[in-house]
Amino acid sequence: MGAVKLLFIGDITGQPGRRAVRVILPRLRLRHGLDWVVANGENSAGGAGITPGTAAEIFEAGVDVITSGDHLWDQKEVMELLDKEPRFLRPLNYPADVPGRGSGVFEKPGKRPLAVMNLQGRTFIAAHDNPFLAAPAEARALRQKTPCLLVDMHAEATSEKIALGRLLDGWASAVVGTHTHVQTADEQIFPGGTAFLCDAGFTGPHDSVLGREVEPVIRRFLTGMPQRFEIAKGRILLQGALIEVDEETGRALSIQRISEPLPPEEISPAS
C-alpha cells in the first residue's frame, strides 16, 4: 500500500514566517520524504495579505500550493496572483465572479495528483457564500480526478471547522483549519477516513500576540485607542500538520502536529 505524504503549513506570518519556511522546509522534506507541501500564505506580506513577491519566495522555498482567507485583499498586488498564478487559491465560497479559483488539481512527475480546496467560514468572520453548500459538490468533482484531497478551512469558530470536517468525512483526505494562529491538540481521523486538525497554528514569531509585538496589543486592550501592530521577532516556529494518505483510496493513514523552531543563529532580520 503506497502512501502520499503531505505537509500543511499554518498561516505564514511576515518576514519571520517566510524565513522559517525557507530554512526549515527543506529539512522537513528530506526528513519525512514529503510528496506535497501546501501552506496558507494570506499573512505573508508584512503580516497582512500576500503579494507576487512573497508568494514567489514561498514557492521557491518548496511549497507547491498556497491557500488564503479573509486577508486576501489586504494587498492590491494580489490581483496579479489571482489572474496569473494557478498554484494560488482563494476561498471557493466567494461569489462566482470574483477573480481566481477556490480549488485545483495539481500534478508533478512521479507523484499521485493532489486536489486542494480552500474554504472560508462565516461565523465571527467576513461573510460569503455558505461553505457547507459549496464544499460537497466540489469535493465530489475533485475526487473524480484524484483520491487525494486536502481542504484548508479558514475560519474563526471551532464548531464551524469541526462541522465542515464531519460533513466532508469520507470525501476529503484531510481537513485542516487555519486563521486563529493557535495550534489545537485535536488531531484525529474521522470514521470515514478524513484526517482533521481544528487549527494548524501559525508560522512566524511566537513571542508575540498572534505574531504581533506584545505591548501595542496590550495598549489597545487597555485604552481602546488605535495602535500600530508590528510583526514580532522572537521564537520563530514553523507549525502545521504532517498527513499520510493512502494513494489508492484517499483515506488518511495518520496525522501529526508539528512545531519546528528556527534556531536563533538562523534568524536574520535583513533576509
The CATH number of residue 111's host domain is 3.60.21.10
Pick the catalytic residue from 71, 128, 181, 206: 71
pLDDT at 172: 98
Cell 496525522, located at residue: 255
128 residue type, one letter = H
Active-site annotation holds for 71? yes
pLDDT at 1: 58
In a domain, 29, yes or no: yes
In a domain, 147, yes or no: yes
DSSP state of 253: E
All cell numbers assigned to 259:
512545531
- Give the number of domains in the chain: 1
> For residues 122 and 157, is the Cβ–Cβ distance under 8 A?
no
pLDDT at 254: 98
pLDDT at 20: 97
Entry pTM: 0.95
Residues 6+ apart with CB under 8 A from 4: 35, 36, 111, 112, 114, 148, 244, 245, 246, 247
In a domain, 92, yes or no: yes
Using alpha carbons only, give the angle 248, 251, 255 rounded to the nearest 5 degrees: 125
pLDDT at 268: 61
In a domain, 182, yes or no: yes
In a domain, 197, yes or no: yes
In a domain, 271, yes or no: no
Q: List per-residue pLDDT tens for the chain, 271 residues long.
A: 599 999 999 999 999 999 999 999 999 999 999 999 999 999 999 889 999 999 999 999 999 999 999 999 999 999 999 999 999 999 999 998 999 999 999 999 999 999 999 999 999 998 789 999 999 999 999 999 999 999 999 999 999 999 999 999 999 999 999 999 999 999 999 999 999 999 999 999 999 999 999 999 999 999 999 998 999 999 999 999 999 999 999 999 999 999 999 987 777 654 4
37 residue type, one letter = V
Give the residue numbers spanning the domain of 95. Answer: 3-266
pLDDT at 270: 46
Mean pLDDT of the chain: 95
